[in-house]
Amino acid sequence: MTTSPYAEQLGRARTAADFAAVIALLDTDLSAAIANRPGLRQAEDRAVFGDGDLAAARAAVDDNNDAIAVLEKTIAAADERRGAAAAAEARADIEALGGETGARAALLGKHWSAVRRLVEELRQELFEADALIRTIATANGLFDAAGLCDLKANLAATRRAAMAGPRAAAPARLSRAGLQADRILLSLIRPGGALDPRPSLRAPLAGAKKKPVPASTRG
């Protein structure tokens, strides 16, 4: 038994999978050679007592032992090459991931720039809206004083109508920081949020008096 049937495959092997395939074949031959050892030794023992050619029996035992030694040595060398190939492949994968990560970081920078631009646009819109609120509130006060309440503009209704509409769902794996930022943004358009400071429907109004409890129901 020799390794020559697999010498060409070992020479062509480049990847960890290539080496693993050849090692599997070598392991099969090694198992067969080890399995042959007891029978060859028994034949040698019989030849010692005249049952068979002793020289041939001993030569068969030696050849088998040599094959086992060569196979074990070849397997060890192939396994070392397999490990080196696996390490090189892992490094290549990491380097590829590094390139992808660099590209994603550049894309992330573009998204953050867009976020900054949109936040600045949002701030400008809020400034404009706030100025209009003050102007309309002043006019509403004049209408009240003149008894022309039908001319008043309903600021709350205007705001809520403008804020109504579908909202995008947050991604399932949004980070904690992302969730917090999303809540802050939603508070700007949610009823009762930062821009709609109306009392909760379930909360008692400030200064509201409690109804007296009838004497018949007191403990």
pLDDT for position 207: 46
Q: At what angle do helices 155-163 and 54-146 cross, to 10 degrees?
A: 160
Residues 133-165 have pLDDT tens digits of 999 999 999 999 999 999 999 998 999 899 888
Q: Are 96 and 88 in contact (CB under 8 A)?
A: no
pLDDT for position 208: 46
What pTM did the predictor assign? 0.56
Element (H, E) at 101: helix 54-146
pLDDT for position 6: 79
pLDDT for position 22: 93
pLDDT for position 8: 83
CA torsion 71-77-79-83 (nearest 10°) is 180
pLDDT for position 195: 83
User: For tokens 């008096």, what's the residue?
Assistant: 209
pLDDT < 70: residue spans in the chain = 1-4, 197-219
Q: Are 191 and 198 in contact (CB under 8 A)?
A: yes
Residues 19-44 have pLDDT tens digits of 999 999 999 999 999 999 999 999 98
